Chains A and B, each alone.
Chain A
Amino acid sequence: MSESDTEDWQENARMIVDSARAIVPADGSLSRVRKARFHGSGFDREVMRQAADLGWMLMRVEEDAGGLGLGMRETCALMEVLGGGLVPEPVLSSLMAAAVLQERLPEAVLTGEAVIVTAWQDKVGAQDWRGGASGGRLLGRKYNVPGAADADFFAVVTGGGVAVVPRGAEGLTVTSEETLDGGRTGLLTFDGVEAEFLPCERVEQVLQDARLAHSAYLLGLSERALTITLDYLRVRKQFDKPIGSFQSLQHRATEMKIRLELARAAISATARRFDTGADERTRSRDAARCKLRAGELAMLVAREAVQMHGAMGITDEADIGLFVRKAISEANLFGGPRQQRASLAALLDQEEAA
């Protein structure tokens, strides 16, 4: 990797992070996020239009397919900012659709008129995605589809290829359930939906990328929650002293910080390895360990933040609660800690067999 490559990605990441300020307020205000909870689709189409205007839909589309061909370092930088702002829009799911479809991404998505999300998961609590195609039609279910409540297109990933399915397709039933953070998660049921299956070789890679990108979102979320908690420790007084002067709380705060810096180091090193060429084994191992680290981090920071906020921590009025609910809703997406450890153990088996 040359020096200029290094500078390129840093400059790109800076520009993308700056552009995200249109969506994540620089002053850290969470009032939009708070208002969007528990009604409608749980996200704002206007924000998705902005995201398209900012060129995000083209980030993970290769240059020779008309995209920007940006790497995982830039993607993670963006996701970290979105996580810090608890952005509820299905940006990652749209980026995944773009990465899977490349030049076949619908034009209306690029202009921001339409929203596309990815439907890949065959089963709750598993990372299987090969189901859903049967005799040239879509059949069966896809779980945990973010933004399904108001998306216009679904990039449906199956072992027989990927299909772009419009919301109104005959035989497709879209239902959704409220999530703890105030958003909605979708369930797609296909009853023999006619579809054109486009061959796609990169599904597993896109899922690894998504696992990494989602880890960056959780990192951003955790960092902001820790910052808010540290601020509180500095100002909240009991026994005539700021509670942040108490050693028991200080030591627990340092544990959060250590876990946070481990996650940051793992995610940034993994993104660099993904961008500069990593073999398949390294990719699956490192995506899994980033997700393991980030998922556990988000839950650790969430529960410690509640405890350290005392009674304020258990009110809905305090913003820290938004982080707790989001952490709970998101930490197990793309596989929770148990699943990540299981896939790492499977890699160990492969090494021995080899």
Chain B
Amino acid sequence: MISLPDYNAMSDADFRQTVRSFVEENYPDIPRHTLSRLHWEDVKPWYLILSKHGWICPTWQREHGGMGLTAGKHLILIEEFERYGCARVNDIGPVMLGPLLLKYGTQAQKAFFLPRILSGEHIWAQGYSEPGAGSDLAAVRCEAVLDGRDWVINGQKTWTTLGMDANWIFILVRTDKTVRKQAGISFLLVPMDAPGVTIRNIENLELEAEFCEVFFDDVRVPADHILGEVNQGWTAAKALLGHERVFIGAPRLSASAMSRLNRIALRAGVWDDPVFRDRYVALQCDVLDLTDLFEIYVDKLRGGEDIGADVAMLKIFQSELYQRISELMMEVAEEDSGLRHPPEGDRQLHAAATYLSARPTTIFGGSTEIMRNVLAKAVLDLPS
């Protein structure tokens, strides 16, 4: 295992400089500042470089091959990656499954899967949503039945982000139909090359195949491919959402959209227009206020405090703000907003690209409407 310095012992400024130098020295010859996700074949060099230096799993404990970063240091890492425009890797393994394995996995599962996530041998996808189970995730119908030593899986997953790049998928399946819907769900780990697994790509609004459907037709996996106890999958699924919600609410998407808005306005010749400025500064205040709110949650993470349901406020405001910024971009770009390809070949100047890429943010990870239902009950204590 690679021996890393104790990054948490560094000052924030020193760590920031360390990350900055690392990125400048090591980022491969692949696109930067992309609005949509890169596929595995394009982003693989970056994954492998991060892997080689022991930087692929920033939040895992050091004894498991991670960097062991505190939430505060992790945020600095994200900020510096973002600043340089590093492409996002296929990070479901490092970000989502890894922490679950560490919490619920058997010794054998940890020993088998963790090193393969670290090395990039296993690229994971997350199989949660189904055609009939989106916001109402606990309604999953994809089912698994124990037959001898195997689970036999039948059903469908959908909106599986970068599922076509993955060679493993973890799925929520129904293992008991006779109980309350949340109480009959289990977590299974499935190789994508198992007989009976079929993938169909879905083109999104940006005409890119970022997600896909995954079909399971009498797919057999060994009984020990279950993560956690049978029928305890819902608890594990919810545990995933804890800290990640804070990062979904981070102001970085909105902040980088503001700098694109700035460029689009300059190009359109409206930067000095007082009507534009009035709206621009209002959005700028929204980004700054969001940053102040975000810092409160980062401080909580730093102090090891639990993050409550109220973190949904960050996610709602961030995603709606990102959309409002993109809407002003469209107004400013005027007729050019309707062009299919970026003006001057520069994606940063393409208002419609931001507009379309901002759409899913109020849908995935809990739609705004569901988040508001949760807030109303859990935070405002309003009746059902």
Residues of A within 8 A of B (CB): 230, 233-234, 241-242, 244-245, 247, 249-251, 253-255, 257-258, 261-263, 265-266, 268-270, 285-286, 289, 292-293, 341-342, 344-345, 348
Contact = CB atoms under 8 A, between A and B. Distances in A.
B316 interface: yes
B23 interface: no
A247 B295 CA distance: 30
Contact of A345 (B274, B292, B384): B274
Contacts of A250: 372-373, 376-377, 380, 382
Contacts of B313: 254, 257-258, 261
Given A344-B281, A345-B278, A345-B281, A254 B375 contact: yes
B292 to A, nearest CB: 4
Closest A-B pairs by Cβ, 9 of them: A250-B376, A265-B293, A344-B281, A269-B292, A244-B382, A265-B292, A289-B285, A345-B277, A254-B375
B376 A251 contact: yes
Nearest to B377: A250
A230 B380 contact: yes
**Interface residues of A: mostly helix, strand, loop or mixed?**
helix
Contacts of A289: 285, 288-289
A181 to B, nearest CB: 27
Interface string B340-376: 0000000000000000000000000000010011011
Interface size class of B (residues with CB under 8 A): 20 to 34
Contacts of B375: 254, 257
B56 interface: no
Interface of B: 274, 277-278, 280-282, 284-285, 288-290, 292-293, 295-296, 310, 313, 316-317, 369, 372-373, 375-377, 379-384
Contacts of A342: 278
A344 B285 contact: yes
B206 to A, nearest CB: 28
B34 to A, nearest CB: 29
A60 to B, nearest CB: 23
Given A234-B381, A258-B316, A293 B284 contact: no
A262 B317 contact: yes
A274 to B, nearest CB: 13
Nearest to B282: A341
B278 A341 contact: yes
A229 to B, nearest CB: 10
Which residue of A234, A258, A348 has the most chain B CB atoms within 10 A of its CB atom? A258
Contacts of A262: 289-290, 292-293, 317
A296 B251 CA distance: 21
Contacts of A258: 313, 316-317
A253 B380 contact: yes
B324 to A, nearest CB: 14
A293 B376 contact: no
A7 to B, nearest CB: 15
A257 B382 contact: no
Contacts of B284: 344
Which residue of B284, B317, B383 has the most chain A CB atoms within 10 A of its CB atom? B383
Contact of B289 (A230, A233, A251, A265): A265
Nearest to A263: B289
